A and B are shown apart, each in its own frame.
Chain A
Amino acid sequence: MNLRDKLRAVGGSGGNQSRPRTPETEKRDCQHLAVYRPLSEFPGALEVRRETVARMSRTPLPEAFDPRRILYLDTETTGLGGSGTVAFLVGLGYLTDAGFEVHQFLMRDYDEESALLRNVEAGLNRFDMVCTFNGATFDLPLLESRFLMNRFQRDCLRKPHLDLLQVARRLWRNRLGKCSLGRLEALILGQPREDDLPGSEVPQRYFDYLKTGNAYLLEDILRHNAQDIASLCVLLTHMADMYDHPEQIPYSEDVYAMGRALERMNHPEEARKCYRLARRGRMGTEAGQALAHSYRRAGEREAAARVWREMIAERRGGAGPYIELAKYLEHGRRDYAGALEMTERAIALLSEARLRQDAAVQETENALQYRRRRLKKRLASTRKKKEQKTDGTGNDVQGQ
């Protein structure tokens, strides 16, 4: 057996027909394709404002923010990562006054990678910020790796980056679960895609293309990529609209989630606005709690107490609002009698729930009983002090 046969035996394959070789040519540019879409497909996209985007993420934004200076980027790759994974197609999209342009750079073979990266670098350098879907963990590190392996400078990648997947997850993870771009198009933007190529089939399509040279194999990929990029712009516009007009969001879950997101991004006032809007919806209890907590964190304890009282009036939140009020009254107002009343009402509420034999309920009740004893003691000692103050002067004299 010669080495070749042995390799076959080891590799467990019967060999393979070789593909037609690409003719030797001088170093060429990679393939460049462009798709132009009318502005009418992107209503509102040009009106996205800096302060809106600033509320979505912590990314530092360019001072002179302009929706036309955002570069939308998406890659198609030969695998899921590691230094052997290559971005064979990079699509770059941007808004103009006339519409939306997508420029796709495709390497028809590996020797065009360097040219592809040059184009991407040039593209990146012409814009102020990048917008991707999952770019923080996938596309940008991958490009970084490709730049490095081709011994390119990597400065062009260090610019403000908005990863819409992260924004989307904060908004919709609880309601939708998985937040793939396809699902968002269908469930949020109301534009389900038809005949779309599953992402998992992309690498094999490309390898087949390399083997056969049949460019039709790439058609689906190119369309898929261009559509992804256009969707990024539509999605960002949609998100911006939500952030600007939370009162028009149909799902109270989304309003509440947006409140949480705003709070995490350190915009508490905007967050409270969302919570207040969400008070009447399905997430009303959570929204109420979040609103009260938000007030408390801001030091506005009266405002928080007001919310707890409203919740009690609305019969929302079970024993929670009573407990919170008890805390507030005891520690914030030193109103021990009021606190005791709230504590006892909470205990009464819990005893209704006690049938469930829930350990957590039991624990809460124990804590409440403890609080009750303490409050009673406090009340007793305040009464004593008062008594001493009113008729105890004689005693004091005696003591002297």
Chain B
Amino acid sequence: MNVTQLADQLRQDPRFMENVTRWEVIPPRPARTADFPESLDARLRAVLAKRGIHALYTHQAQSISATARGEDVTVVTPTASGKTMCYNLPVLSAILENPDARALYLFPTKALSADQVSELYEMIEQMGVDIKTYTYDGDTPAAARKAVRQAGHIVVTNPDMLHSGILPHHTKWVKLFENLQYIVIDEIHTYRGVFGSNLANVLRRLMRLCDFYGSHPRFILCSATIANPRELAETLIGRPVTLIDDNGAPMGERHFVFYNPPVVNRQLGIRKGAIPVTRAISGMLLKNGIQAITFARSRLTVEVLTRYLKDMVRDPLGNAGRVRGYRGGYLPTERREIERGLRAGQVDAVVSTNALELGIDIGALDACVLCGYPGTIASAWQQAGRAGRRQSASIVFFIASSAAIDQYIVTHPDYFLRQSPENALLNPDNLYILMSHFKCAAFELPFEDGDGFGNAPGTEELLEYLDEENILHHVDGRYHWSSEDFPASEISLRSAAEENFVIIDITDPARHRVVGEMDRFTAPMLLHENAIYMHEGRQFQVEKLDFDACKAFIRAVDTGYYTDADLNINLSLLDLEKEERTERGYRTALGEIKVTALVTMFKKIRFDTHETLGFGHVRLPETDMHTTAMWWTLPPDLVEKIPSDTLKNGMMGIANLLRIVCPLYLMCSPQDIAVVYQVKSPITGEPTLILYDNCPGGVGLSQKAYGMRDMLLEKALQVVNDCGCAYGCPSCVGPAGEVGQDGKPTAIRILKELIM
């Protein structure tokens, strides 16, 4: 059965359609093309012609022309629109023209670099020219590195390697730095938050070195669809860009189905879970031979769904292998094998976390199932874009979970279909991040009096501070690095935590093997002792977590349950930046706080029924984070009038409302911020609602929220007023079971007081 037939069949099925809140058909779009730009080398045209390409899509032609005019370019295109041509063609053209020219390609992950290099190789081989393209990353053998440094025309790497392997050793890369003509950065939408703030600083360092070596490279940046590609690009590279976002690539017809699982308990407003529904729909696609990708929001869900689907087709012929799980933590070789299987059509169904959201080449699939809203419009479109052939029809199912934001989306599909996607925010001037890179920059090349660092503020003060700390040494108008340390080794670009945990399977005592890895923040949640860890649908129990050595030892088990850990958060004030006392006598403030996270216990949850079977304790050290926060206290006279339990319920309700509203208006993903309430807050000594940036140092979301603090409360009030439920539901203040019967009216009452 093909997608069109399946869509017809489903639309005839009243039992299916009764839960569909919207069936949107996006009509097919024809290709729009333009002639090869003048600037394109004749040899490249010949190769393209050989491949049957006689014209370019409009966005490709535009970006090549803009690049040729010497502009920095940002190309915004959806998945599979031929964006690699937007940079490969100008770069190859430049090297054909001048064999000394060099280009640097940055991809967020190693996997992506591997993909892109193989595509470049093909074109270069077809032209029969001597253009050397090398990948330079942690896997590059030491013996090959010298050749890469000396002879690589195109050096493909990732921000981490640029940061710690190339920039601090720039004198070994003279050829590259002296002749650097293009810097290509793909998937820039992934560089938001801490990662983006770090990359912006790595680029400041890179440009500083280019200045030293006398080169003036131009940028070609590519992004998936986000609300603010220009702002993101300009913040990353610190200078204006030409935006190209007129996609000329063709697309087949696409069906977008919004599916809200049926209500199973009307009193409590409980719906059927998204996982069983996803299992049914993905299963139906699998049975009908429609190649599909299912996105789940957690690693755990990925494993649960993979197991369900594998069981569905399991037979002695090994057909279970047609279903694969895919997520961070699988080893690279395993991932490459799955990617190949998808491209070759040997894998019919893959269940993935957002790990496959990036531009890893798995070809275009027929169908995509989103089990739950991925959190942002941008990611939802990225994931949906995995289904979508250029010629034939494709279908995307969005299965809403009971989470408030999911319910909002499934009942307001227009918000999703019409609203622009989120902003990618980053803050290169985050003091933690800035200072770390500032040190690296000083290591790489002494600062001179009056030198800036990109457009970073406070350079002079930073220099003086580091001088006082004896990290730099000021003499004769220059600040020299004056420490034994190698500053680049002290920063990890992706998070504040540097080391990953290694997961070791000890089921076979004779053969311990590493099956995966996990970052330091997630490890306490998923790898605490006695946790059930799932890998490719198999269950393991964590036998020992060696926190200092960053190792988790697991053993295969077969239990009917999985585990879910509880995270405890404590806050304390570091610095008050701004405070305002309102006429109503409550305070709003912006400042820096310390967030301490601790996992203390976990629940055992039965498969299928999802009932809680029991609890267990976790003994692990806590993790600290300094970040930016904003908060509201409540009017004291109001607090006096409300009994404390009721007050708590009301505040819980408001926190829940803010969790729904803030990401929408701050245009960020829900994971980027945290909203908590404290009846007696150690920060203010009063009942307080607190919103903070969920990453060390913050990326500016709290500041933004502080700027729109009244509006956020108004929107929260509007959501709860508009909600038809009686005593609260997940789409407003949270279910009555959590906030009590008085939660909803109290939340409304407090909000009204705050807004007045």
Contact = CB atoms under 8 A, between A and B. Distances in A.
Interface of A: 1, 3-4, 6-11, 13, 15-16, 18-19, 22, 27, 78-84, 86, 109-111, 141, 144-145, 148-149, 203-204, 207, 210-211
B168 A83 contact: yes
A110 B476 contact: yes
A144 B169 CA distance: 12
A207 B482 contact: yes
19 contacts: A1-B577, A3-B431, A11-B435, A11-B465, A11-B469, A78-B481, A79-B483, A79-B484, A82-B443, A83-B168, A83-B169, A83-B171, A84-B444, A84-B486, A109-B476, A148-B174, A203-B484, A207-B470, A210-B482
B486 A149 contact: no
Contact of B470 (A16, A79, A148): A16
Interface in B616-672: none
A1 B435 contact: no
B441 to A, nearest CB: 10
Contacts of A15: 468-469
Nearest to B167: A83
Contact of A110 (B174, B461, B469, B473): B473
Interface of B: 168-172, 174, 431-432, 435, 442-446, 458, 461-462, 465, 467-470, 473, 475-476, 478, 480-488, 574-575, 577
Interface of chain A, helix or strand or loop or mixed?
helix
Contacts of A7: 431, 435, 461-462, 465
A28 to B, nearest CB: 10
A78 B482 CA distance: 7
Contacts of B470: 16, 19, 207, 211
Nearest to B170: A83
B443 A109 contact: no
B545 to A, nearest CB: 27
Contact of A10 (B435, B468, B475): B435
Contact of A83 (B444, B475, B482): B444
A10 B432 contact: yes
A1 B475 contact: no
A145 B171 contact: yes
Nearest to A142: B171
Given A18-B467, A110-B473, 4 more contacts: A4-B461, A82-B168, A82-B486, A111-B476
A211 B475 CA distance: 12
Q: Which of A10, A79, A109 has the most CB of B within 10 A?
A: A10
Nearest to B488: A82
Shortest beta-carbon contacts, A-B, top 5: A84-B443, A111-B476, A145-B171, A84-B481, A110-B480
Contacts of A84: 168, 442-444, 481, 486-487
A334 B469 CA distance: 81
Contact of B445 (A11, A22, A83): A83
Of B170, B171, B486, most buried by chain A (CB within 10 Å of CB) is: B171
Contacts, number: 97
Nearest to B213: A148
A207 B483 contact: yes
A149 B484 contact: no
A84 B458 CA distance: 22
B467 to A, nearest CB: 8
Given A11-B465, A82-B169, A110 B475 contact: yes
A1 B575 contact: yes
Contacts of B469: 11, 13, 15-16
Contacts of B168: 82-84
Given A7-B461, A210-B482, A111 B431 contact: no
A145 B641 CA distance: 72
B697 to A, nearest CB: 8
A84 B159 CA distance: 20
Contacts of B484: 78-80, 203-204, 207
B300 to A, nearest CB: 35
Contacts of A18: 467-468
A144 B488 CA distance: 21
Contacts of A141: 172
A11 B462 CA distance: 11
A120 to B, nearest CB: 16
Contacts of B445: 83, 149
A16 B473 CA distance: 13
A283 to B, nearest CB: 30
A203 B486 CA distance: 13
Nearest to B461: A3
A148 B171 contact: yes
Contacts of A86: 480-481
A81 B164 CA distance: 13
Nearest to B471: A11
B564 to A, nearest CB: 35
Contacts of B169: 81-83
B213 to A, nearest CB: 9
A19 B472 CA distance: 12
Nearest to B465: A7
B458 A3 contact: yes
B475 A22 contact: yes
Nearest to B479: A110
A198 to B, nearest CB: 13
Nearest to A147: B171
A118 B462 CA distance: 32
Contacts of B432: 10
B624 to A, nearest CB: 12
B64 to A, nearest CB: 35
A36 B473 CA distance: 34
Contact of A149 (B171, B475, B485): B171
A79 B169 CA distance: 13
Contacts of B442: 84
Contacts of A145: 171-172
A206 to B, nearest CB: 9
Contact of A9 (B461, B462, B480, B575): B575
Given A82-B169, A83-B168, A109 B482 contact: no
Nearest to B478: A110
Nearest to A109: B475
Given A7-B435, A86-B480, A210 B461 contact: no
B427 to A, nearest CB: 14
Nearest to A18: B468
Contacts of B458: 3
A292 to B, nearest CB: 32
Contacts of B475: 22, 109-111
A204 B482 CA distance: 10
A287 B12 CA distance: 87
A3 B443 CA distance: 22
A86 B482 CA distance: 9
Nearest to B434: A10
A83 B443 contact: yes
Nearest to B433: A10
B153 to A, nearest CB: 22
A15 B174 CA distance: 37
Contacts of A4: 461, 465
Contacts of B478: 110-111
B578 to A, nearest CB: 12
A173 to B, nearest CB: 19
Nearest to B485: A79
Contact of B171 (A3, A80, A144, A207): A144
A109 B169 CA distance: 23
Contacts of B481: 78, 84, 86
A189 B51 CA distance: 69
Contacts of A27: 476
A11 B466 CA distance: 9
Contacts of A80: 484, 486
A119 to B, nearest CB: 18
A79 B443 CA distance: 11
A150 to B, nearest CB: 10
A382 to B, nearest CB: 50
A165 B394 CA distance: 66
A223 B443 CA distance: 28
